[in-house]
Amino acid sequence: MDLLNMILNQGGGNSVRQLAGNFGLREDQAVSAITNLLPALGQGLARNAASSGGLESLLGALTSGGHERYLEDPSTLGHETTVQDGNGILGHILGSKEVSRSVAQQAAEKTGIGVDILKKMLPVIAAITMGTLSRQATGARGAAPSGPAGGGLTDLLGQFLDTDRDGSVLDNLLGMASKFFKQ
pLDDT digits (tens, 9 = 90+) for 94-134: 888 999 999 999 999 999 999 999 999 999 999 999 998 88
Phi, psi of 72 (to 5 degrees): -70, -30
Distance from chain centroid for Cα 162: 16
Residues spanned by the domain of 73: 3-182
HEC profile of the chain: CCHHHHHHHHHHHHHHHHHHHHCCCCHHHHHHHHHHHHHHHHHHHHHHHHCCCHHHHHHHHHHHCCCCHHHHCHHHHHCHHHHHHHHHHHHHHCCCHHHHHHHHHHHHHHHCCCHHHHHHHHHHHHHHHHHHHHHHHHCHHHCCCCECCCEHHHHHHHHHHCCCCCCCCHHHHHHHHHHHHHC
Q: How many domains does the chain have?
A: 1
In this prediction the pTM is 0.77
d(CA 156, CA 111): 24
Q: Is residue 78's pLDDT more than 50? A: yes
Kindly report the average pLDDT of the chain as a whole number.
79
- What local confidence, expressed as pLDDT, does residue 176 receive? 47
| Nearest-5° Cα angle at 68, 12 to 144 | 70
* pLDDT, tens digit, 9 for 90 and up, residues 8-41: 888 888 889 999 999 999 999 999 999 999 999 9
